[in-house]
Structure formats: C-alpha cells, structure tokens
Amino acid sequence: MSASDLRRLERLKVIYGNGGADTKLVVLRRLARQSLRTAGQVERLHEALCFLRAYPDDERVLAQVTRMLERFDRRADLVLHRDQLTDTGIAGTAIHYRFFWSTAHWLGRRWPNQLSFQRDGGDAAERLGKALPLLAPPIASEWLSNAPLAAFSAIDRLRGRRGDAAWFVEHVARMAGDSFTREAFADAIDAPFVLAPGRETPSRSRAHFAPAPRAFQSTPLRRTRPDLRAAISVPPRGIRPLSRRDGAVLVELARGAMITRARDLAAFEHGDARDVRLVDDGDGLAFAFCGVMPERRALLPAIYGCLTLKNGVPIGYVQADVLGPYAAVSFNTFETFRGGEAGHVFGRLLSAIHHVFGAESFSIEPYQLGQGNEEGIDTGAWWFYQKLGFRPRSVRARRIMRAELARMRSRPGHRSSVRTLAQLAEWHLFFDLDPAVARGLPPVQGALDRAIDWLARRGGGAEAVAVAERLALSITGLKSLAGFGRDERVAWRRWAPLVVSLPGVSRWRPNERRELAEIVRAKGGRQELAFLVRLAAHPRLARALFGGQR
C-alpha cells in the first residue's frame, strides 16, 4: 500500500486546483504513518515533500509536509536505510565531501563534534602528515621527527577531546599569514571530510528561509517559455536589503544548500551578511542576492551569489558577474525542482538582475552549457537557453545550430547528440535587452593589459604597485587615504595600476577624477552595488574600460 501511495503522491504533486489539495492530504497523512521498504522509496518521498513545501496548494498541505520534513530523520525507514542514504543531504544522514578551506573552517567552528576526517581518503593522509609539523607546537614538531607516526595517529595523540577535523581547522586558522595563505595551505592537502548528522547541521529537509514571501499554488505550474524582453520589462514586486542578522541566516542557508548537494560556490563561501538583498517577485518567488566580502571581491566585476527561493525553500542558485551593462549568469535549478517552472523562474531572474544591477546584456559561459560539465550536457542546457532567445556569436556555433534546427524541422523527434551538444558548448551564448545593440563580453582585456604593461615597465613587483598607489592619489586629487577603511585601502591598492594606466586620465576634468577615486573606494565599501551605481554614472571611465561600448 505504501509504495502505491508514494507513486500516487508523485503523480499528484504537480497537479493543482479542482480539489487536488484534499486528495494530497489523504495520501500525505497515510505516508506519514507508513514505513517504506527501500532506501530509494524513502528518498523519493523526501523529494516529493520538498517539492510540495515549495509549491503548496494551501495552508493545510504546507503544514503537513512541513511536519513530515521536520521529523524526517525520526522515520523508522530513514533510520533503517541511513547508510544507503548517505550523501543525499536528507536530515539524519552523513555527508562526505572534500570541503574547501572556507567551508571546512565554517563547519569546524559551528559543528566541531560533527565534522571529522574520512580516514580512508587515500593520499590525503600522506599530505596531512607532511603538513603536521607546520601546525603543531614546536615541541610536538620535534616529537614527530623523533617518533614518526601516521598522520591520523599523530593527530589523535595531539587533539585531546576535540575531534580530529576540529583540531585541524583550529590550528590552520592560527597559522601566520592571511586568509589566502591559510586557504592555499588547507586546500593543497585536499582532505576528505565527513559531516555527521545533527539537529542543526545543514540538510535539505529543513532548509527554509522564514522571512521570504509566501504564496499558495492554486493554478497549474507555468511551464511555457517566456518572452524574455517582456519578462525583463516587468519589475519585481519589491527589493529590500536584509538586516545583518537575516543576512547571516541567508548566507548560512546558501552554504548549506551547496553542502547538501556536494557543491561549492565561492560567492556563498565568502558571502557578506552586510550585503544581502531579497527580491520579492510575487507568487512566493524570491531571489536572495548575496555580495562577497570586500577582501574576496574581483577587481572589475561585482560578483553576487543568489539563492532562488520558492515559499522560502531553496530551489536553485545563481551567480551573477556584473560589470556596467554586462552580466554573466550561471543559473542552476536543483534536481528536485526540475520539470517545474524553470523557464519562468529564469525570466524573472533576468528581470531581477536588470532592475537591481542595471544589466542590459546577458551571457552564459561554456561551463554552464556543458563544457567539462556532464550535468549541462545531460540536461540539454544549451537548447534551454537557445529556445529562450540566447544566441552564439561564433560563426561555427551558428552553423551547427542551423544544421540542428534543420534536422529538427525534418525529423520532429530529433535530439542533439552528446557530441553535438559538447561542440555547441565551446562558445558563450548571449542575449541583449536591446536587439540592436550586440555587446558580447565586457571588452576589459585592453584595460588589464595596459595595467600589466605599466607595472612591467617598473619591475612588476610590490615597489611598482606602491608607485602606482602614490601616482593614483595625485591623479585623483587626493592628498592621502585618510578616512579610508581597511577594505577601501585594499581596493585602492588593487585598482591603482588600472587607474594610472587609463588613457589620458590626467587630462580628465577634476570632478571626473575625484569621482574615479570614489568609484575605487566603493569597490571596497560595505555594499558592492554602490560600485556599480557609481560606475554607471561615470561615462568617461566606462568608455575607457569598455572601449566605447555601452
């Protein structure tokens, strides 16, 4: 009976209206009391519940699926099949992953008793053993040299009551240097970790952002392809910055969404709780844009990670690299929610990026389309974007596209082969809000080349950068960096070679040069959006960076 109820729920979950909520409730309540026979069935139930929490028919359905998900780790069938459900991200199951340093550091501080090393991690143990003398106190280093032990045995002697991974994280965090050197040290070891389940550890079952907007699904899902230009022209319902407290909750939710799916996104790893905006798009759909901590920002584009939320449930993630009118977009819908409203959500995402950041030209990089990314090939990502209006600029890609379209017209059942999809994925795809303005990628390589050439003529080292910093002060009319914060000073150091190598910058009007200084300062400010706003208001700098393209 339980298996048939599960199959029925999977059919019902995407059907809305006409009393469907009552039928779903009957099936859900039966499944809450029943035990499923296999691990696969337990996982399928979990996925159906997650979908219905994101797309609930009404308050009753939402309350039922929320109760079932909150208690999912206590289900007898989950406990019975726990080992087989490892790495699913379901509450009550363990996660094995080679976490990057920033994520391992976060987990080790938040859940020191849950994080441990996976001790059958192959050559990572050898690398860890070589690194131990650099982490341990001097007396322990000498002890290790006189009585060499295997890495994990040595850590077990040194760590006391702390967990092995917590000991490692704590001692790497104390190393001399900065966050970049510690990251390079830890990531070079590439140790495999295990995150044991706990009540508060990340899971897909309980992932939810309570302050997000909520709505019920009473009509069929929107599965048609939108007109992107029309969609972008319709602004979101509202855009609001989150408090630092809510921003921190959102950043942790985003990191957890990646951890529970064996993924990493640097924009979330280095997310800044002070720079988070929630875009309410209506109907329970929201986009939470998360800025990057100043010390981790890119030199030119402003990079924002974005968690796509439906009724507060993470249903996908995005990275938007924005510079002037350009936005490189990486869009992903989590597997649980594919087959839902991906086209509609993508159209609303572009609207959010346009109205929040001012982007008018959008691109999709080859990796997202399948280059070195099997998931992109398997999901047919290239055709998803092509059917929405994105096009390649490469002559060869356009030739392959036309040939495939001809085959589809002559043979309606034709599907592009893996080889063809891989060929198409070698080039970017583009979409311009104004079809008369074909921008392509931001043409900033010339500005970067000039900056490197300027430094190279002066030796290319720290001394040359120091000269650039002093000269940039003179050019912009600043006497000093008095009043600049630490992050703003870092931004000045990074930008100085770019500033001094801008063509004819010394002949700009004084107000243009003063505003240039404020743009550089904004790059290290609290919210990187201020950098984009100031850049958009400085047409002369934009022309210098983009070679006249706007």
Q: What pLDDT shows up at residue 121? A: 63
* Cα 527 to Cα 33, 397, 492, distances in angstroms: 49, 38, 16
Edge-to-edge order in the sheet of strand 391-392: 238-241, 271-282, 285-292, 302-310, 313-323, 326-333, 361-364, 429-432, 391-392
CB count within 10 Å of CB 402 equals 10
Per residue in 31-53, pLDDT (tens digit) is 999 999 999 999 999 999 999 99
Residue 125 binned pLDDT confidence (cut-offs 50, 70, 90) = confident
What span, in angstroms and rounded, lies between the C-alpha atoms of 283 and 285? 6
Helices (H) and strands (E) in the chain, counts: 26, 12
The answer to whether residue 549 scores a pLDDT higher than 60 is: no
Residue with tokens 């600043």: 478
CB count within 10 Å of CB 435 equals 9
Q: What pLDDT shows up at residue 240? A: 96
| CA nearest to 475, candidates 448, 438, 502 | 502
Residue 508 binned pLDDT confidence (cut-offs 50, 70, 90) = very high
Q: What pLDDT shows up at residue 1? A: 66
The answer to whether residue 2 scores a pLDDT higher than 90 is: no
Amino acid at 263: R
Which segment of 137-146, 251-260, 420-429 scores lowest on mean pLDDT? 137-146
Indicate the Cα dihedral angle 164, 170, 173, 175, nearest 10°.
-80
Amino acid at 143: W
Per residue in 355-377, pLDDT (tens digit) is 999 999 999 999 999 999 999 99
Residue 199 binned pLDDT confidence (cut-offs 50, 70, 90) = confident
Amino acid at 367: Y
Per residue in 409-457, pLDDT (tens digit) is 999 889 999 999 999 999 999 999 999 888 888 888 999 999 999 999 9
Burial level of 181, CB count in 10 A (0-12/13-18/19+)?
Answer: exposed
The residues, any chain, with a CB within 8 Å of residue 526's CB and separated by 6 or more, are 274, 275
CB count within 10 Å of CB 367 equals 13
The answer to whether residue 548 scores a pLDDT higher than 60 is: no
Percent of the chain with pLDDT over 70: 99
The two three-digit tokens of residue 172, written as one number? 């790497």
Residue 135 binned pLDDT confidence (cut-offs 50, 70, 90) = confident
Helices (H), 174-312: 179-189, 228-233, 244-259, 266-269
Residue with tokens 């099949």: 81
Which segment of 154-168, 281-295, 517-531 scores lowest on mean pLDDT? 154-168
Helices (H), 388-505: 395-410, 418-424, 445-456, 462-476, 486-500
What span, in angstroms and rounded, lies between the C-alpha atoms of 246 and 210? 10
Adjacent-strand bridge partners of 116: 194
Q: What is the mean pLDDT of residues 251-275?
A: 96
User: In this structure, which long-range contacts are made by residues 230-233, counting pairs with CB atoms below 8 Å and at least 24 apart in sequence?
Assistant: 231/347, 231/348, 231/350, 231/351, 232/347, 232/350, 232/351, 232/354, 232/433, 233/351
Percent of the chain with pLDDT over 90: 85
| CA nearest to 294, candidates 479, 514, 520 | 520
The answer to whether residue 105 scores a pLDDT higher than 50 is: yes
Residue with tokens 């406990």: 79
